[in-house]
Amino acid sequence: MNRIPATLTRVEHGAGMTLIEAEAAARSGLPLVATIVGEVALTVGAAVVLACKETEVALAKHLSGEISLRNRHGARVVGLDSGSVLTRVQLDWHGQRIASVITTGSAQRLGLRIGDDVEWLVKANEMAVETA
């Protein structure tokens, strides 16, 4: 599980949902975004940990055009562990370690090598909020 320390910068309730934005301790400049089922009592400024499973983290290279995902952040490949079906990719994101598990076929298609610059992407509903 990827766990990212962050500070809440926006909390919005509506339709039985909560939308939050948070600035990571890694200070990437772009917010992390999560949607939660239920109107939960969170306050701006609170310290939280955002969590996402490695298998929910997608990777991209040279991504262009618009995309709905707002958790889209540049990082560097620092580790590769390839199996016959799955590959675990370790990323350095402003000093924060992020892991992604993608298919080995996708890793080969992207031509992933250690030192490559990539983007990691997570849908907001796959990002959970844990209180710090």
Partner 1 sequence: MLNLALTHTIPTPEGPRPLHVELALSPGERLALYGPSGVGKTTLLRLIAGLARPDQGRIAFGDTVWCDTGRRVHAPARERRVGYVFQDYALFPNMRVRDNLAFAQPTPNRNRLDELLALTRLAPLAERYPHQLSGGQRQRVALARALAQEPQLLLMDEPLSALDPALRVALREEIDEILHTVQLTTVIVSHDLGDVFRLAHRVAVLEPGKVAALGTPRDVLLPPTPGGRHALSGTVLAIEPADVLWRVTVAIGNDTVATLSADVDQLRIGAPVAVQLNGSSAVLQPA
Binding residues for partner 1 (CB under 8 A) = 1, 18, 34-42, 51, 54-55, 81-88, 99, 101, 125-126, 128-131
User: Tokens representing 107?
Assistant: 């890793």
> At residue 43, what is the residue type?
T
Which pair of structure tokens corresponds to residue 74? 């540049």
Nearer to partner 1 by Cβ, of 12 and 63: the residue is 12
What is the smallest separation between the CB atom of 62 and partner 1, expressed in angstroms?
25
Q: How far apart are CA 32 and CA 43, in angstroms?
A: 15
The least distance separating partner 1 from the CB of residue 64, rounded to whole angstroms, comes to: 28
Question: Residues, the chain, total?
Answer: 132
d(CA 103, CA 86): 4
Least spacing, CB of residue 118 vs partner 1, in Å: 18
Residue 77: HSE in the Cβ half-sphere, 13 Å Cα cutoff: 22
Which residue's CB is nearer to partner 1, number 65 or number 85? 85
CB of 1 to partner 1, least distance (A): 6
Q: Please check whether residue 34 is in contact with residue 74, taking contact to mean a CB–CB distance below 8 angstroms.
A: no
Nearer to partner 1, 23 or 39 (CB): 39
C-alpha 63/C-alpha 41 separation (Å) is: 36
Nearer to partner 1, 28 or 35 (CB): 35
